[in-house]
Amino acid sequence: MQGLFANRRGVVVYLAVWLFLGLALAGVITLVGAAAAPNALLFALPVNLVYAFAAGYSAYYLCRSYPLGGARARAIPLVFSAAALVAGGLWLAVGQGWNSLCLLLGVGWAGIDLGHRLAALMLAEGVLLYGFAAALHYLVIEFVRATGAEQSALEARLMAQEAELRMLRTQIDPHFLFNSLNSISALTSQDPKGARRMTLELASFFRHSLGLEAHRKVTLGQEMELVRHFLAVEQVRFGARLLFAEEVSAEAAACLLPPMLIQPLVENAVKHGICHLPEGGTIRLTARRAGSLLHIGIDNPVDPDPPASGAKGQGIGLSNVRQRLAGAYRHEASIHWTRRQNRFGVEISMPAQLSEE
């Protein structure tokens, strides 16, 4: 049974309302002089509780059979008017039967003077209360329907977002793999041992990457392990030309972020920075937490006079990271990059999350 009786709290609130209505009926009986207060309470409260369940269940199934937006919506006023009259009449009959039983007890505190005026009042009240129960059920049913539709829309949006993020993540692995294979191919003739070492480091990188694949988000500390594996691969290729300095606070390392978010930026720094500098340089990565935000910065040297063909290209790294941040955090995250003098810097600001939401 759903509707008002879907959970215990709903039942308690519903019965509390009907108990209050029973007290009100007892008060009316006392005011019109039909009985003393104990007699009125003994009559009104049991009768109201019985009617609460009878009217509640009847109205609920009628509301389910005649939904507001259904094909039979035009018949709702007629159906519920007839049902309310029948329910009110039955309630009056139950009340008269209960009153007769109380009078048979032959004690002063049982039974009331159920005359024609009081009987008509009970019938009218029964009709109104049935309509009240039906209106409550319609409200609850429509609220549950709207909540379900909103939940379904949210789940569909999350599934679409997850599919978009997975598509963006699939761009990373082939991109890095092709670059690494080209490097290994170049090393096989010049430095076979270096090519073998690079192959092993590459295997370690993808093994670690696959371990993070099952998670929607990983800690920055885990992401940094992936970055170190990547740099170990590139270290074989560049040697002393490639230096790396990181400043990651413990609070920042515990924060969550989408997997493979930082690695493409470090790869960008190698491909578009260190690769074009004969003397190489240092890639700096900083991460700190400031309240509810996580700030990550990546800074690398660049060629002061880049060739015309490579002046604008920054690979897929920056656009991929920007799209993944937008998909995961919407307007709550941002990424900016600047070029000052002979260095290129990327700044990321995102929510500092410690648990997946």
Report the chain's mean pLDDT, rounded to a whole number.
Answer: 83
How far is it, in rounded angstroms, from Cα 42 to Cα 92?
A: 16
- Token couple for 32: 């019109």
**What does each C-alpha distance from 80 to 68, 75, 124 come to in angstroms?**
12, 9, 14
Whether 223 has a pLDDT exceeding 80, the answer reads yes
Whether 220 has a pLDDT exceeding 90, the answer reads yes
In this prediction, residues 123-137 reach a mean pLDDT of 89
- Token couple for 4: 């008002």
**What does each C-alpha distance from 16 to 20, 36, 49, 68, 78 come to in angstroms?**
6, 23, 10, 27, 29
pTM exceeds cut of 0.75: no
How far is it, in rounded angstroms, from Cα 357 to Cα 354?
A: 9
- Token couple for 312: 């604008």
Q: How far does Cα 210 stand from its chain's mean position?
A: 26
> Which pLDDT score is estimated for 311?
44
Give residue 189's identity as a one-letter amino acid code: S
> Which pLDDT score is estimated for 176?
65
* Dihedral angle over CA of 13, 19, 20, 24, nearest 10: 160
Q: Supply φ then ψ for residue 316, to 5 degrees.
A: -90, -5
The pLDDT tens digits for 245-292 are 999 999 999 999 988 889 889 988 988 899 889 999 999 999 999 999
Q: Which of 342, 240, 245 is nearest to 297 (CA)?
A: 245
Considering the chain, what percentage of its residues have pLDDT values greater than 70? 86
Of residues 356 and 136, the one with the higher pLDDT is 136
In this prediction, residues 284-302 reach a mean pLDDT of 95
313 falls in which pLDDT band (50, 70, 90)? Answer: very low
Per-residue HEC secondary structure of the chain comes to: CCHHHCCHHHHHHHHHHHHHHHHHHHHHHHHCCCCCHHHHHHHHHHHHHHHHHHHHHHHHHHHHHCCCCCCCHHHHHHHHHHHHHHHHHHHHHHHHHHHHHHHHCCCCCCCCCCCHHHHHHHHHHHHHHHHHHHHHHHHHHHHHHHHHHHHHHHHHHHHHHHHHHHHHHHCHHHHHHHHHHHHHHHHHHHCHHHHHHHHHHHHHHHHHHHHHHCCCCEEHHHHHHHHHHHHHHHHHHHHHHEEEEEEECHHHHCCEECCCCCHHHHHHHHHHCHHHCCCCEEEEEEEEEECCEEEEEEEEECCCCCCHHHCCCCCCHHHHHHHHHHHHHHHHCEEEEEEECCEEEEEEEEECECCCC
Weakest-pLDDT range from 90-99, 218-227, 310-319: 310-319
Domain ranges of the chain: 3-157, 171-351
> Which pLDDT score is estimated for 84?
92
Question: CB under 8 Å, gap of 24 or more: what pairs does 81-86 form?
Answer: 83/58, 83/59, 83/130, 84/126, 84/127, 84/128, 84/130, 84/131, 84/134, 85/127
Using only C-alpha atoms, what is the Rg of the chain?
Answer: 37
Q: Which CATH class is domain 171-351?
A: alpha beta
Sequence-ordered list of residues with C-beta below 8 angstroms from that of 251, at least 6 positions apart, any chain? 288, 289, 352
Considering the chain, what percentage of its residues have pLDDT values greater than 90? 25
Which residues share a beta bridge with 242? 281
The pLDDT tens digits for 14-39 are 888 888 888 988 888 888 887 888 88
> Which pLDDT score is estimated for 306?
66
